[in-house]
């Protein structure tokens, strides 16, 4: 089937900064309300459908493989809060989670009272109360997503925020769980995150400004009109992000304001009427920190996870009264000292223990300290639950303040997600659940290994190489290489049912832990941001070269994949080394970054200055970004086949970026490979809503890559059981 790609009109728009003029011929595609723009996107979808029609069976096969491996009727391990066990469950054939609870009992036996009830997928749970059924809420709506759930301390009221457009503007509603009725309270245009006040009379929430930056923390008193809601805090600096939480002991509202380089915390005592916000360390001190309150000997203290004289951060204990003094005069007690080889991410507290999240040897893990003796001379060393795999991820998933246990989530590349309860007093680790993978999955059929690529400057880049066990380094394998490499976000080991569909077709899947991410600590991140950002791109290309030279991949059969900032990565490496890739899948790609960041009125633009630099005020940053921004560096070259996947209602990376990029690529490439744009017209940054629709999205991306690599057939069972 031959298909003709739509041709976007060229309407030159002039952009001038720092004496440089850039002529943008496709900026007109930004007019989202324009019928011509919508028609163009629909024409692109039709072209994409025609070009990829031969992949339809492969897409269906991959979708079925995901579906057949997934335990569709399933539920989470119940987690206790006050007098209830809370959990979510899914049902076969239904898109969304159902949020439920069942009453807890108190027998006086601590172990028994905090052991979750045994629940079996598909069987009724005794005393179950459905709080919110996402399938009911989504009925008749083009999109459904929750931005937060909160229950009052007495368990009578549920607050939830719902998005039906994909634009991450949620409507807040309150439900009386005793009657099932909605209260009259309804607040539109709220952002992520909800919390009730301890007495249940107020709901705290955040609001975004016109550029989609969360800038207000507000309080709604139940039974009053939304127009009367109180602004507790408003942040006017367009480069600062605002969020909030309630302290573990439910006594304080904690407001965090920050960027990637420094922060400020303001706290409000919820036990004192008419209390005022207290600033801990002001932003002028340029300290990047998080604050977690706790009470020791009747006095309020804060555990600070901070980078003061500590590149990788450390943890200090500070009495509240110290914040009245100049920073240089404050007395801080070290709890977790700084270590060049260990990145400290943050802490959580219960009434008896402190949990510390750290990254060591690229691996995320949890360390545990008793509160008794904290900061004293006899403070014990942290305890760290141990596991038997080299590459894994361990996270703290739940730590109720009164609980004698904490809940840990564990996963690795080939171990399905596990839920453990860790007994704080005894140190016992109890496995509560391992996610079932159906379809005859056997972890021993696969191997994950750590390799190291050498960058142009000699830096060693960690790679996670995933494969079927029987594949060998003979230079014949197809491969997909994936990375992100921004915002200090790490691509941690995690199980993926969908990824098995690529591996079972003999594809080597490689995660490149390039600079700009956080896998190797703060220095690793700083070596791939602002005026060192190009390291991110060259690291990816050098990782690709290693993949080929080591014999893992056929140089003619390598595909690259990345999303959002990882989509910018895809655009940059395709400009730099188009010959290295057979195909590229760029998901919601940030490929017109300079245009976006030059306009502070566009969503989230000003917040990006701490990541990429400010090209508005700094001519050096402007030129540096112009040298790598994918859209502005498209050149006459034989580009590989490219799929740009986006969403019309995405507020983080606007659809216009990949739309412009594809138009320019198609007009400029000297090669024969197709370049397609697929736009989800009812989705947001994460694509369509509903698990089945999301599986279809993944299947589409994977089929595009696998078909491009000529790896469409599943390895035979006799082959796959070899070795």
For 552-573, the pLDDT digits (tens) are 999 999 999 999 999 999 999 9
- The verdict on whether 319 is a catalytic residue reads no
Q: At 720, is the pLDDT very low, low, confident or very high (cuts 50, 70, 90)? A: very low
Location of structure tokens 């400020």:
264
Please compute Rg for the chain using Cα positions.
26
More confident residue, 707 or 373: 707
What confidence score (pLDDT) does residue 722 get?
36
- Cross-strand partners of 356: 347, 367
**Cα torsion through 456, 460, 463, 465, rounded to 10:** 90
Mean pLDDT of all residues in the chain? 94
Q: Token pair 């919601």 is at which residue?
A: 588
664 domain-assigned: no
Q: What percent of the chain has pLDDT over 90?
A: 85
Q: Which two tokens stand for residue 427?
A: 């140190």
More confident residue, 595 or 118: 595
Residue 692: CB atoms within 10 Å: 16
Query: At 415, phi and psi to the nearest 5?
Result: -100, 115
Report phi then psi at 6, rounded to 5: -65, 145
In a domain, 271, yes or no: no
pLDDT over threshold 50, residue 362: yes
Give the residues across from 318 on adjacent strands.
302
470 inside domain: yes
Confidence band (pLDDT; 50, 70, 90) for 1?
A: very low
Does position 686 have pLDDT exceeding 80, yes or no?
no
173 within domain boundaries = no
Mean pLDDT across 139-150: 91
Choose between 717 and 285: higher pLDDT.
285
Q: Are 120 and 136 in contact (CB under 8 A)?
A: no
Residues paired with 583 in a beta bridge: 559, 641
List Cβ neighbours of 364 (8 Å cut-off, separation of 6 or more): 345, 357, 358, 393, 394, 395, 490, 492
Domain assignment present for 454: yes
Q: Global pTM? A: 0.89
522: domain CATH number?
3.40.50.1820
| 3-class state of residue 210 by DSSP | coil
Nearest alpha-carbon partner for 478 in 502, 497, 462: 502
Domain assignment present for 521: yes
Q: How far apart are CA 346 and CA 20, in angstroms?
A: 43
pLDDT at 38 (0 to 100) = 96
| Selection from 299, 226, 288, 301 nearest residue 260 by Cα | 288
Give 390's Cβ-side CA count (13 Å radius).
7
Catalytic status, residue 353 = no
Q: Would you place residue 692 in the very low, low, confident or very high pLDDT band (cuts 50, 70, 90)?
A: confident
Catalytic-labelled residue, pool 650, 697, 701, 707: 650
The count of structural domains within the chain is 1
pLDDT tens-digit map of 414-465: 999 999 999 999 999 999 999 999 999 999 999 999 999 999 999 999 999 9
| Residue in this structure with the two tokens 């029609």, named with its chain if needed | 53
Is it the case that residue 645 has pLDDT exceeding 70? yes
pLDDT value of residue 717: 65
Return d(Cα 387, Cα 408) in angstroms, integer: 12
Q: 353: which strand partners?
A: 370
Q: Which domain holds residue 459?
A: 447-555
Task: List, in sequence order, every beta strand (DSSP E) within 297-441.
Answer: 299-306, 314-319, 333-336, 342-349, 353-360, 363-370, 392-398, 405-412, 418-423, 429-434
Which of 564, 647, 708, 720 is catalytic? The answer is 564
Give yes or no for residue 688 having a pLDDT over 60: no
| 318 part of a folded domain | no
End-to-end CA distance of the chain: 42
Lowest mean pLDDT among 69-78, 151-160, 683-692: 683-692
Structure confidence at residue 512 (pLDDT): 98
Per the annotation, the verdict on 338 as an active-site residue is no
Q: What percent of the chain has pLDDT over 70?
A: 98
Tokens of 460: 């060693």
Is residue 326 scored above 80 in pLDDT?
A: yes
Neighbours of 6 (CB within 10 A): 18
User: For the ranges 61-65, 352-356, 606-610, which has the lowest average pLDDT?
Assistant: 606-610
Beta bridge partners of 78: none
Catalytic residue among 220, 353, 513, 685: 685
What pLDDT, on a 0 to 100 scale, did the predictor assign at position 464?
Answer: 97
Residue 496 lies in a domain: yes
- Residue 655: closest CA among 25, 26, 2, 141: 26
């Amino acid at each position: 089937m031959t298909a003709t790609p739509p041709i976007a009109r060229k309407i030159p728009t002039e952009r001038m900064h720092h004496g440089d003029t850039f002529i943008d011929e496709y900026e007109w595609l930004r007019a989202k309300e324009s019928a011509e723009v919508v028609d163009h996107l629909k024409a692109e979808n039709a072209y994409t459908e025609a070009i990829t029609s031969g992949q339809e069976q492969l897409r269906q096969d991959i979708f079925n493989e995901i579906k057949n491996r997934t335990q569709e009727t399933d539920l989470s391990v119940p987690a206790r809060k006050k007098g209830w066990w809370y959990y979510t469950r899914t049902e076969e054939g239904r898109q969304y989670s159902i949020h439920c609870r069942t009453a807890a009992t108190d027998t006086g036996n601590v172990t028994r009272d905090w052991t979750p009830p045994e629940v079996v997928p598909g069987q009724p749970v005794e005393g179950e109360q459905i709080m919110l059924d996402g399938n009911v809420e989504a009925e008749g709506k083009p999109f459904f997503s929750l931005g937060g759930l909160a229950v009052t301390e007495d368990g009578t009221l549920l607050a939830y925020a719902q998005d039906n457009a994909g634009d991450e503007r949620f409507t807040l509603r309150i439900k009386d769980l005793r009657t099932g009725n909605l209260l009259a309270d309804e607040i539109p245009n709220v952002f992520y995150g909800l919390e009730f006040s301890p007495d249940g009379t107020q709901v705290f929430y955040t609001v975004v400004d016109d550029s989609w930056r969360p800038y207000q923390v507000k309080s709604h008193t139940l039974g009053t009109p939304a127009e009367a809601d109180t602004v507790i805090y408003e942040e006017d600096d367009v480069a600062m992000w605002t969020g909030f939480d309630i302290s573990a002991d439910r006594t304080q509202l904690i407001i965090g304001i920050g960027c990637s380089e420094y922060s400020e915390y303001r706290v409000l005592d919820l036990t004192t009427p008419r209390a005022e916000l207290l600033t801990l360390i002001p932003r002028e001190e340029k300290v990047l920190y998080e604050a977690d309150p706790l009470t020791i000997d009747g006095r309020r203290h804060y555990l600070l996870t901070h980078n003061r004289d500590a590149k990788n951060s450390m943890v200090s204990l500070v009495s509240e009264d110290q914040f009245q003094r100049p920073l240089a005069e404050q007395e801080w007690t070290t709890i977790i000292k700084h270590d060049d080889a260990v990145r400290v991410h943050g802490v959580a507290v219960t009434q008896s223990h402190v949990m510390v999240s750290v990254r060591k040897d690229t691996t995320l893990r949890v360390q545990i300290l008793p509160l008794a003796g904290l900061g004293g001379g006899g403070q014990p060393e942290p305890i760290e639950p141990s596991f038997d795999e080299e590459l894994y991820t361990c996270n703290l998933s739940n730590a109720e303040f009164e609980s004698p246990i904490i809940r840990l989530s564990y996963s690795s590349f080939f171990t399905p997600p596990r839920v453990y309860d860790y007994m704080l007093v005894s140190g016992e680790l109890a496995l509560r659940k391992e996610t079932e993978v159906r379809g005859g999955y056997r972890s021993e059929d696969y191997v994950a290994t750590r390799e190291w690529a050498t960058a142009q400057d000699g830096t060693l880049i960690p790679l996670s190489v995933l494969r079927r066990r029987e594949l060998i380094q003979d230079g014949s394998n197809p491969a997909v290489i994936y990375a992100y490499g921004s915002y200090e976000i790490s691509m941690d080991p995690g199980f993926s049912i969908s990824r098995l569909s690529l591996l079972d077709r003999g594809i080597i899947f490689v995660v490149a832990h390039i600079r700009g991410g956080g896998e190797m600590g703060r220095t690793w991140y700083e070596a791939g941001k602002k005026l060192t950002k190009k390291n991110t791109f060259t690291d990816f290309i050098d990782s690709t070269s290693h993949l080929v030279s080591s014999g893992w991949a056929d140089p003619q059969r390598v595909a690259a994949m990345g999303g959002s900032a990882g989509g910018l990565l895809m655009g940059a490496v395709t400009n730099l080394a188009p010959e290295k890739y057979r195909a590229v899948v760029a998901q919601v790609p940030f490929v017109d970054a300079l245009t976006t960041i030059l306009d502070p009125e566009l969503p989230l633009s000003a917040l990006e200055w701490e990541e990429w630099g400010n090209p508005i005020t700094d001519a050096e940053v402007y030129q540096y970004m112009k040298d790598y921004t994918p859209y502005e560096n498209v050149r006459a070259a034989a580009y590989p086949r490219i799929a740009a996947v986006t969403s019309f209602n995405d507020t983080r990376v606007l659809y216009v970026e990949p739309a412009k990029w594809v138009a320019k690529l198609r007009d400029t490439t000297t090669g024969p490979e197709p370049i397609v744009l697929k736009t989800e017209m009812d989705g947001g940054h994460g694509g369509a809503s509903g698990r089945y629709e999301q599986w279809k999205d993944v299947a589409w991306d994977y089929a595009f890559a696998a078909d491009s690599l000529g790896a469409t057939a599943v390895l035979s069972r006799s082959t796959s059981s070899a070795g």
